[in-house]
Amino acid sequence: MIGPARDRAPSPPPRLILASASPRRLALLQQVGVEPHALLPADIDETPERSELPRVLAARLAAGKAEAASDAAEARGERDGAYVLAADTVVSVGRRILPKCETRDEAEDCLRLLSGRAHRVHTGVTLLTPRGGRRHRLVETRVRFKRLSGVEMQSYLDCGEWSGKAGGYAVQGFASTFVVKLVGSYTGVVGLPLYETVSLLAGEGYPVHAAWAAGDR
């Protein structure tokens, strides 16, 4: 005989797949009590299309990463009942899209361009739901850098923090000292806008706040 509902074992939470290997995005989710069940970084071509606007690129790449991770999860038999979350960040000056820097020269070019001026950070977020739904958000943040001295620029290049970062800097690191003004989402510049991401998850039935009630950190 089945006992009262209060005596039943709680059902396990739905699975969440994060389509990223970024430690920053994982840490941001963990910061708000969300622990992905799997990390499936998506290896897709991130080359901008001809005349593609920065915000369009960010949205397209986030959607592409989500689809690629979903396909990988499907191949592993792990897609059923799972949410798939992906994000991508693009830094731009006007319509010019800055690279995710892999060399010191690239990073130096970016810093010289950003020095003393404003730029925009576009972060696209895509959520695929267990029932085949697709939800998207695009967050744009304006950032202004101070005019960088030669010592500041060379010291930052020496530290290597720029490697793999859009625009050649990490706002949560030493480059935080370059920021004169930021209008928009700080966590979006880090790599995952938490307000929009949590709103997407909660709106689609993912129990974002379960860890809060349990006091888990």
Task: Output the six-digit token pair for 62.
Answer: 């986030």
Please pick, among 80, 88, 158, 216, the residue that the annotation labels catalytic.
88
Structure tokens given for 10: 């709680």
**What is the mean pLDDT of the segment spanning 39-66?**
95
Q: Is the pLDDT of residue 193 over 90?
A: yes
pLDDT value for 133:
95
Distance CA 147, CA 152 (A): 10
Please tell me the predicted confidence (pLDDT) of residue 4. 52
What is the rounded CA–CA span in Å between residue 71 and residue 67?
A: 6
Q: Is 43 a catalytic residue?
A: no
Check residue 72 and give its pLDDT. Answer: 95
Beta bridge partners of 97: 92
Q: How far apart are CA 175 and CA 121, in angstroms?
A: 15
Other beta carbons less than 10 A from residue 34's beta carbon:
23
Q: Calculate mean pLDDT across residues 187-207.
A: 97
- Give which of 99, 96, 182 is closest to 146, Cα–Cα: 182
Per residue in 123-158, pLDDT (tens digit) is 999 999 999 999 999 999 999 999 999 999 999 999
Q: Does domain 14-214 have CATH number 3.90.950.10?
A: yes
pLDDT of residue 141: 98
Share of the chain above pLDDT 70, in %: 93
Give the chain's mean pLDDT: 93
d(CA 61, CA 48): 9
Contact call for residues 207 and 13 (beta carbons, < 8 A) = yes
Burial class (CB in 10 A: 0-12, 13-18, 19+), 192: buried
Is pLDDT at 80 greater than 50 in this prediction? yes
